[in-house]
Amino acid sequence: MTEATRLQTPDDLAALRARVVERRSAKKVCVSICAGTGCRAQGSMELLAEFGRQLESAGLDDVELRATGCHGFCERGPLVVIHPRKIFYHSVQMKHVADIIDKTIQHDEVLPALLFRDPKTKQRCEVEGEVPFYAKQQRIVFRHNGIIDPTDIEDYVGADGYVALAKVLAGMTPEQVCDEVEASGLRGRGGGGFPTGKKWQICRNQPGETKYVICNGDEGDPGAFMDRSIMEGDPHAVLEGMTIGAYAIGASKGYLYVRGEYPLAVANLNVAIEQAKTRGLLGDDIFGSGFNFTVEIVRGAGAFVCGEETGLIASIEGDIGTPRQRPPYPAESGLWGKPTNINNVETWTNVPVILERGASWFASIGTEGSKGTKVFSLVGKVNNTGLVEVPMGATLREIVFDIGGGIQKKRKFKAVQTGGPSGGCIPESLLDLPVDFDKLREVGAMMGSGGLIVMDERTCMVDVAKYFLGFLVGESCGRCAPCREGVFQMHRILSRIVEGEGREGDLETLEKLGNYVKASSLCQLGGTAPNPVLSTLRYFRHEYEAHIKEKKCRAGICKELVQFRIDPETCTGCTLCRRDCPTEAITGAKKEPHRIDAAQCIKCGVCYDVCNFGAVEVE
């Protein structure tokens, strides 16, 4: 690492980049280990240490060890990439370290056992790009994730980091920056999809000396973790985006509101901020332009509603994170009553690359109304879960089946839920829907922050609606009556329905309440909260009706409405279900058909799930 000198001019930056690139010649061997949260949970840090020890004892001083950000394929962590061949090993364990050093590093041999095997083609994939999970992705936001060491600014600079900032400060007016971003067609990735350039322009045009930019890193949607990945894996990109935005808007202070549960993100961001300050990329007179900008990290306190921008502002101000009535919008009167621009992490991360490569390049990606890519956190009943970045307009089918590898256990696809808890459920009939902001909204769902939950036939849509509403009942701030009382009442009705107490008219009441809550709530939490119900009612009304009228849950989820039965014809008497039944409700001798004692059955569905022969049936 060279001495951390302040980069006075864009030329300084270019010089540094040249030095970094030269030092990291393409031929050099480098062991790159994912240090994202997912891989860490699976032991990647211990692995890193082990590599260090063994490389040292083997005297391999010139082999570089690098901890990178998340690759997205968390399902298969820890991930290790050996450069320069970029050999992609997954699920690496401590016992593999010696082999990797011995074979791969010292003798350039690939260890096939650690390579990914495509379940379809049964082919082993030597490099990351060959893995189907990655093959269909277009990584713009994730351009550096898994490649650079997030705690080393030189890595970022070496990967063309801060080039955009240098370009902006060297030769663009704030208006030009706004225009460029607007021309790129970038829309807010936080869920609303508001055109980012326009948003900046509004804030920029507000009177007043003091303005703020905020990065919303309060990633609250259950199952979504793309913002975390970015903050952990590419913090400088966030800072660079914010700095450019601040310049465009006329702010000199920024806040990074990071979810409290993201300690690694906070740590890496702090490191990045310190480094950027040292390099003169934050602070006064950046690149000699006279532009000053500092960033402060604020840790969130764990309320979903703090993702709502007015709630977030209240939280930064030290208040209870409760949204307030808009207008006035934050762009007019935000933090401390000053014009404030809030964008989410993913949006900010898009900014440098847009300015580096140009609006038209960005606008060439995606659909007519939605440009660029979108990161989804693909979870649920798919084979490959993780973060996936696809161009706008990719179909759900591509995402679920091509990237996600299809439904687990070969079960039937039922629906995909998008947009987080307030999103909607999209049925199989719409699998070929190109995913963008407008299309999702048309079908009653939403982009949200990019949650994508895949559901199979073993999913009860009423239960899903109840689940999400339950989450929202808990996360509603409680300030406005529609959200607080309305969502609660809807949840009550759903609870009743799943308990078999559904009544005639419940669905109408649900619809009425849902529309009411949407229309009358104070903030967008309430404004979208009924979506899970309304969208499932739209596409899976029959399931509701079955629950109410027939008192049946076809998915076998709603215990009060389910009866498990073992088909004696199909049952092989393997005893698997008998052994797993928590209440010993299953009886039957080996190789004899088993049966379930309804009196003792608690309808947990374990038998159904474990049966490898499909002998357990739901009535």
Partner 1 sequence: MIKLHIDGQEAEAEEGQTILDAAKGLGIEIPTLCHHRAIPPVGACRVCVVEIRDGGRPGLVPACAYPAQEGLVVETASEAVRESRSMTIQLLLARCPEAEVLRKLAEQWDAPPLTLDAPLDHVEPPKGVPEGAGDRDKCILCGLCVRVCQDIIGPAATAFAGRGIERKVTTPYKLLSDVCIGCGACALVCPTGAIDPAEFCSHSIEKIPNEFNLGFDTRTPIHLPFPQAVPNKPILDRENCIHFRTGGCGACETICPAGAIDLEMEDEIVEEEVGAIIVATGYELLDPSVYEEYGYGRYPDVVTSLEFERLVSASGPTNGELTRPSNGEPPKSIVFLQCIGSREETGPGKPYCSKICCMYTAKHAILYKHKVHDGQAFVFFMDVRAGGKNYEEFVRRVSKEKVATYLRGRVSKIFPHDGKLVVQGADTLSGGQVEIAADMVVLAAAVVPSKGATELAQKLRISYDQHGFLSEAHPKLRPVETNTAGIFLAGACHSAKDIPDSVAQASAAASKALGLVVHDRLTREPTIGIVNELTCNGCFECENVCAYGAISPKDIKDRSGATVAVLANINEGLCQGCGACMVTCRSKSIEVQGYTDNQLFSEINAITR
Which residue number, 408 or 520, has a Cβ lying nearer to partner 1? 520
HSE-CB of 61 using CA atoms within 13 angstroms? 1
Nearest approach in angstroms of CB 339 to partner 1 is 16
Tell me how long the chain is.
619
Q: DSSP H helical segments within 123-253, as ranges? A: 132-135, 153-158, 163-171, 174-184, 196-204, 226-233, 235-249
Q: Which residues contact 8 (CB under 8 A, 6 or more apart)?
A: 280, 287, 288
Which residue number, 84 or 478, has a Cβ lying nearer to partner 1? 478
Contact 393, 138 (CB under 8 A): no
Contact 296, 255 (CB under 8 A): yes
Which residue number, 71 or 199, has a Cβ lying nearer to partner 1? 199
Which residue number, 135 or 481, has a Cβ lying nearer to partner 1? 481
Nearest approach in angstroms of CB 298 to partner 1 is 20
Nearest approach in angstroms of CB 333 to partner 1 is 11
Concatenated DSSP letters of 446-481: --TT-EEEEEETT--HHHHHHHHHHHHHHH--S-SH
Which residue number, 508 or 569, has a Cβ lying nearer to partner 1? 508
Phi, psi of 566 (to 5 degrees): -105, 125
Cα angle at 228 between 227 and 233, to 5 degrees? Answer: 100
Nearest approach in angstroms of CB 421 to partner 1 is 13
Q: If phi over 0 gives left and psi between -120 and 50 gives alpha, with beta otherwise, what is residue 329?
A: beta
Nearest approach in angstroms of CB 532 to partner 1 is 16
Q: What is the end-to-end Cα distance of the chain in Å, rounded?
A: 66
Strands 373-380 and 386-391: antiparallel
Residue type, 385: T
Q: Is 5 exposed, middle or buried (0-12, 13-18, 19+ CB in 10 A)?
A: exposed
Cα angle at 249 between 344 and 144, to 5 degrees? Answer: 40
d(CA 15, CA 442): 50
Nearest approach in angstroms of CB 396 to partner 1 is 30
Which positions touch partner 1 (CB under 8 A)?
A: 303, 305, 320, 324-325, 327-328, 473-489, 492, 509, 512-513, 516, 519-522
Which residue number, 329 or 401, has a Cβ lying nearer to partner 1? 329
Q: Is 565 exposed, middle or buried (0-12, 13-18, 19+ CB in 10 A)?
A: middle
Which residue number, 129 or 478, has a Cβ lying nearer to partner 1? 478
Nearest approach in angstroms of CB 365 to partner 1 is 30
d(CA 204, CA 200): 6
Which residue number, 482 or 502, has a Cβ lying nearer to partner 1? 482
Nearest approach in angstroms of CB 537 to partner 1 is 18
Which residue number, 252 or 333, has a Cβ lying nearer to partner 1? 333
d(CA 3, CA 391): 39
Q: Which residue has the tokens 């490191």?
A: 271
Which residue number, 412 or 512, has a Cβ lying nearer to partner 1? 512
Q: Which residues contact 528 (CB under 8 A, 6 or more apart)?
A: 419, 422, 423, 446, 518
Which residue number, 2 or 325, has a Cβ lying nearer to partner 1? 325
Nearest approach in angstroms of CB 186 to partner 1 is 22
Nearest approach in angstroms of CB 347 to partner 1 is 22
Q: Which tokens sit at 270?
A: 């702090």
Nearest approach in angstroms of CB 505 to partner 1 is 8
d(CA 137, CA 135): 6
- Give bridge partners of residue 89 from the DSSP assignment: 80
Which residue number, 148 or 480, has a Cβ lying nearer to partner 1? 480
Nearest approach in angstroms of CB 507 to partner 1 is 13
Which residue number, 145 or 476, has a Cβ lying nearer to partner 1? 476
- Give bridge partners of residue 217 from the DSSP assignment: 258
Nearest approach in angstroms of CB 487 to partner 1 is 8
Which residue number, 343 or 476, has a Cβ lying nearer to partner 1? 476
Q: If phi over 0 gives left and psi between -120 and 50 gives alpha, with beta otherwise, what is residue 488?
A: alpha
d(CA 445, CA 7): 46
Nearest approach in angstroms of CB 480 to partner 1 is 5
Residue type, 312: L
